[in-house]
Structure 1
């Protein structure tokens, strides 16, 4: 396994105190709290030293931010879609032009390899273009038949919900935050985002860039702080009748997602929740072993395994098990691991000591219980304080936490099966259902098998990226992996309410003044029979 020594200078040289001050100004503070100096700071994975102090928001700040965004949203909803789209397209161009800055910030705050960071640029750019150019069609009013053919005109229209609350995670601080904000804004909403405490600078940099693209200052606010204070306040006040956000979009753990869902239910607002996963990859007997191994490596160890759709369980037909295992181990050991601010590293650092502890515990307990470590299996403090080698396990049993608990790190476990049926049953073990993968030369059969896997996305002959990158299709989970979808039509429609507008012509519905009710009922019954006979309904 190739190694790269961590750089001696962690803070990017272009990040001056002046630039930091400029980003800090985007943390919303209630004007009534002038003089409050509370701050928060995360530790950089590169050296476990504080990154930068950022103002810490309070519950009052959150409430004031929602009120401010609501005032701005009323005017924004009247702006034509094309003008909103122009702002997003200018943001797209600025993001591509200045991507090296935010790539540095993502790496500094979160520790991932630079290529994994660049994939966030790719996703956000594609989302921005897609919704700017095609979002209007998702929201176009839809004409339907009315109660009285020819006399009732009915349209279903989409209206903004109002203010959307966003709670995004640290593992994709650009994509999973801004990728949801863009369709919400284009749908005519205001937004209040809670930046994750580990990665606030990335989101603050992005907010400044969106302002440069022309987004009104009060329309999208950023708050920073702990989930117990800022997150709870963003979901809504304890009084369910008090003013708060009109929809909450949360990406994170299943345990927290359950709490978010309960609170949203109490307030009778919708919640879209993308939660955890323990994603399977199935290798059929006819699979191209080398390609399957390469695809598994990309899906298991990309982003240092810290992505909700990454592969953690690899289910292999016995006919190709040995060949696949050898190919996977060889490809894993060939990865370059370490910390740099360039593209020379394949697998970067974990994001926090808590992540390192979970990964090490899962691997150590598995090894102590009799599992075999085929590759990796150890921390590498010589490369960085939170670096852990990409790891392949064999002989994992159901009693081991690594079997069905989410590890969220660079660890995969191999399982041998004898039939497709057994593989599907194994893939469906546990309560998660976010993403899955099937490798086979017979793609028609693989596509049929895909529909038997309980997962929001199934990739055939790809590990995870094909479905996630196809942004015209929805992305989300089943079971304990969440509710709702991002991307595609639902990715923007969920930020709107469906409203029916019915216009009655000539006569109102109901019996005319001089017609007995019994005769009207008889005419209505005749109409029912006629419409059925004519197959008009």
Structure 2
């Protein structure tokens, strides 16, 4: 693991005060929103592929710790049956014209926007995030649906390629669906990660068998239910629920392609097993993302950007920032501005837009965040803001936390925290900042702030990260859906979005039709004469600029 060596802070640490707490509109231990009726939850649970007498699992609401949903658990046999149905359904689905698939996806787009309050309520109830953060998932999936509905035909159409012999070789590249794709999606962005990866696979003509994380399965099942309402045929997209230790094997063994979002450790195992089966895999894994504030940055805007970069969804975002590198000459001003903004954030639970920072999602995440911060403080880190859990608000709340004086012997120095925690470091030169930002095996996302756009882009190009945002946290690159998104190094393999995001779900086939004459000599022409002719032809082609 690479280490970072930051210069000591030059500013006096501000007085630590807790973030602002706003009484939520809906009390943390109050009832669920009216839209989340028992009938809705029961209907969504019925979408799980499981036997009628299946074992059950109960999920809890992060805001309150109270029971939320009772879901059936799929067995390995259920997974096998789902794939058997998917293989039958996929053949018919692939034969449907792209124009028909486009209609279904655009109808899904409209239904999503019309029924977004249900999705927002579900995401908040299952994940504990704020309504503001949940809304971004709705926006993301609307953009993704529209993009692939209207661009799939362009990416998937037969393409003429240059033939081996000009005019005599007719060469075409075709794209065929992989077959049945396995999608394993996480709990932190339950709509974006569940629907977003399935949409591209479906538009490419595949069927999908998906395992969403159990904690946020209702949101994923809601998107499946909505897609069926939009006209998706039965069996083309199915969902199973269960632990990876139980159903992970058949999910991989039956797959023609694997799409996984999760931890680096799990991603390594999937990559290994996919390699054994000689199937492709796309893996978006962990990150320890860096933000660089250059000496010419607008400090007020950079401080606003840091808040947006570090604390969305309580920091439970793969592309959020956990390391902040600030030019020594502007460090004091930046720290003052960033800390002040962080302390003004409203933390709490409400099913409206009044809250800035919501809850962590599960107890294990709270344990990790607490352990990382406590370890850092015990070893000498300075708490500039936050630094503690808030059980008075609910079982899984933790204050937005800013740390200084973090050293390589502290766990959070190199390891992903995945919570509302960021460490601030200083640097003296741009080269040092780039070296510090790159001193990690991860390479998912980064952020650069500068008053000179060209300078910011030049620094961005030197960072080891799949996406880099200039004067933005992560939304600019993520929202640029025509461009690829994914990680380098320990942050994964493959890309979502753009051409890569749909072509990875296809098999490329080259069909070459040779006409009149090929590379072998015609009758009555000696090999020597033919070799002389070919050599001369190659020289002519080069001379006239043929590629």
Task: Report the TM-score range of the alignment, normalised by the length of the smaller protein.
Answer: over 0.9
Q: RCO higher in 1 or 2 (8 Å CA, sep ≥ 6)?
A: 2
Tell me the SS of whatever aligns to 1:51. strand
Instruction: Check whether the contact 1:284–1:317 (CA below 8 A) recurs between aligned residues.
Output: yes
Residues 343-382 of structure 1 mapped to structure 2, 5 A cutoff: 343-382=353-392
Residues 105-184 of structure 1 mapped to structure 2, 5 A cutoff: 105-184=122-201
User: What is the aligned partner in structure 1 of residue 115 from structure 2?
Assistant: 98
Equivalences, count = 526
Tell me the SS of whatever aligns to 1:121. helix
Q: How far apart are the structure 2 equivalents of 1:44 and 1:151? A: 66
Instruction: Check whether the contact 2:36–2:121 (CA below 8 A) recurs between aligned residues.
Output: no
Instruction: Check whether the contact 1:4–1:383 (CA below 8 A) recurs between aligned residues.
Output: no
More moved, 125-134 vs 140-149: 140-149
More moved, 505-514 vs 522-531: 505-514
Tell me the SS of whatever aligns to 1:385. coil
User: What is the aligned partner in structure 2 of residue 20 from structure 1?
Assistant: 41
Instruction: Check whether the contact 2:58–2:71 (CA below 8 A) recurs between aligned residues.
Output: yes
Residues 465-476 of structure 1 mapped to structure 2, 5 A cutoff: 465-476=475-486
User: What is the aligned partner in structure 2 of residue 42 from structure 1?
Assistant: 59
What is the deviation of 1:17? 2.7
What is the deviation of 1:183? 0.9
User: What is the aligned partner in structure 2 of residue 478 from structure 1?
Assistant: 488
Asked if 1:451 is matched to 2:461, the reply is: yes
Q: How far apart are the structure 1 equivalents of 2:396 and 2:42? A: 28
Unaligned runs of 5+ in 2: 1-18
User: What is the aligned partner in structure 2 of residue 402 from structure 1?
Assistant: 412
Structure 2 residue aligned with 1:200, among 180, 199, 217? Answer: 217
What is the deviation of 1:486? 0.6
User: What is the aligned partner in structure 1 of residue 21 from structure 2?
Assistant: 3
User: What is the aligned partner in structure 2 of residue 63 from structure 1?
Assistant: 80
What is the deviation of 1:282? 0.4
Structure 1 residue aligned with 2:309, among 299, 302, 319? Answer: 299
Instruction: Check whether the contact 1:41–1:197 (CA below 8 A) recurs between aligned residues.
Output: no
Instruction: Check whether the contact 2:93–2:206 (CA below 8 A) recurs between aligned residues.
Output: yes
In structure 2, the CA distance between the partners of 1:433 and 1:10, relative to structure 1 (3 Å rule), is farther
Instruction: Check whether the contact 2:326–2:426 (CA below 8 A) recurs between aligned residues.
Output: yes
Tell me the SS of whatever aligns to 1:280. strand
Tell me the SS of whatever aligns to 1:42. strand
Q: How far apart are the structure 1 equivalents of 2:48 and 2:77? A: 13
Give per-residue Cα distances to partners, 1:204-228, cap 9 Å, x unaligned.
Answer: 1111110000000110010111111
What is the deviation of 1:352? 0.5
In structure 2, the CA distance between the partners of 1:449 and 1:14, relative to structure 1 (3 Å rule), is closer
Q: How far apart are the structure 2 equivalents of 1:519 and 1:307? A: 66
Tell me the SS of whatever aligns to 2:476. helix
User: What is the aligned partner in structure 1 of residue 68 from structure 2?
Assistant: 51
Q: How far apart are the structure 1 equivalents of 2:29 and 2:59? A: 19
Residues 214-229 of structure 1 mapped to structure 2, 5 A cutoff: 214-229=231-246
Give per-residue Cα distances to partners, 1:486-532, cap 9 Å, x unaligned.
Answer: 11110111111111111122345523344333333332222222222
Give per-residue Cα distances to partners, 1:249-279, cap 9 Å, x unaligned.
Answer: 0000100000010011001001000000010
Structure 2 residue aligned with 1:276, among 279, 286, 289? Answer: 286
User: What is the aligned partner in structure 2 of residue 240 from structure 1?
Assistant: none
Q: How far apart are the structure 1 equivalents of 2:171 and 2:469? A: 40
Tell me the SS of whatever aligns to 2:171. strand
Tell me the SS of whatever aligns to 2:448. strand
More moved, 467-476 vs 522-531: 522-531
Q: How far apart are the structure 2 equivalents of 1:334 and 1:17? A: 37
Q: How far apart are the structure 2 equivalents of 1:8 and 1:350? A: 16
User: What is the aligned partner in structure 2 of residue 186 from structure 1?
Assistant: 203
Asked if 1:232 is matched to 2:249, the reply is: yes
Instruction: Check whether the contact 1:107–1:113 (CA below 8 A) recurs between aligned residues.
Output: yes
The normalised TM-score by structure 1 is 0.96
Tell me the SS of whatever aligns to 2:35. coil
The normalised TM-score by structure 2 is 0.94
More moved, 181-190 vs 10-19: 10-19
What is the deviation of 1:8? 3.0
Tell me the SS of whatever aligns to 2:498. coil
What is the deviation of 1:142? 1.9
What is the deviation of 1:19? 2.0
Give per-residue Cα distances to partners, 1:37-93, cap 9 Å, x unaligned.
Answer: 212222221222222111111111112111211111111111111110100000000
Q: How far apart are the structure 1 equivalents of 2:218 and 2:93? A: 26
Give per-residue Cα distances to partners, 1:459-478, cap 9 Å, x unaligned.
Answer: 11111111111111111011
Q: How far apart are the structure 2 equivalents of 1:19 and 1:101? A: 10
CA RMSD of aligned residues (A): 1.3
Instruction: Check whether the contact 2:290–2:322 (CA below 8 A) recurs between aligned residues.
Output: yes
Structure 2 residue aligned with 1:79, among 93, 96, 101? Answer: 96
More moved, 324-333 vs 34-43: 34-43
What is the deviation of 1:454? 0.2
Q: How far apart are the structure 2 equivalents of 1:65 and 1:524? A: 55
Unaligned runs of 5+ in 1: 237-243
User: What is the aligned partner in structure 2 of residue 419 from structure 1?
Assistant: 429
Q: How far apart are the structure 2 equivalents of 1:474 and 1:532? A: 34
In structure 2, the CA distance between the partners of 1:296 and 1:89, relative to structure 1 (3 Å rule), is same
Tell me the SS of whatever aligns to 1:348. coil
Q: How far apart are the structure 2 equivalents of 1:211 and 1:486? A: 23
